[in-house]
Amino acid sequence: MKRDKISAKSIIGKSLTYYRDRGNKELTKDNLVMPFNEKIIRDVWAKGQVVGSNNPDEYRKDECGAWMYFSHYSNRNSQYGWEIDHIEFVDHVASKDLNNLRPLQWQNNTCKGSGELACIITANKENNGPTKI
Can you give the pLDDT at residue 82? 97
Range of the domain at 90: 36-130
> How many of the other CB atoms lie within 10 Å of CB of 84?
22
Can you give the pLDDT at residue 7? 47
Q: Is residue 85 part of a domain?
A: yes
Q: Is residue 2 part of a domain?
A: no
Sheet with 3-8, side-by-side order of all strands: 3-8, 16-21, 27-29, 32-34
Domains identified in the chain, total number: 1
Q: Is residue 15 part of a domain?
A: no
Q: Is residue 78 part of a domain?
A: yes
Identify the burial level of 52 via C-beta atoms within 10 angstroms of its C-beta, where 0-12 means exposed, 13-18 middle and 19 or more buried: exposed
- In which residue ranges of the chain is pLDDT below 50? 1-3, 6-15, 18-22, 24-27, 31, 33
Can you give the pLDDT at residue 19? 46
- Tell me the torsion sign for CA atoms 74, 44, 56, 116: negative
Q: Is residue 7 part of a domain?
A: no
Can you give the pLDDT at residue 44? 97
Q: Is residue 69 part of a domain?
A: yes
* 42 residue type, one letter: R
Q: Is residue 70 part of a domain?
A: yes
Residues in the chain: 133
Q: Which helix (H) or strand (E) holds 69?
A: strand 67-69
Can you give the pLDDT at residue 9? 40
Q: Is residue 21 part of a domain?
A: no
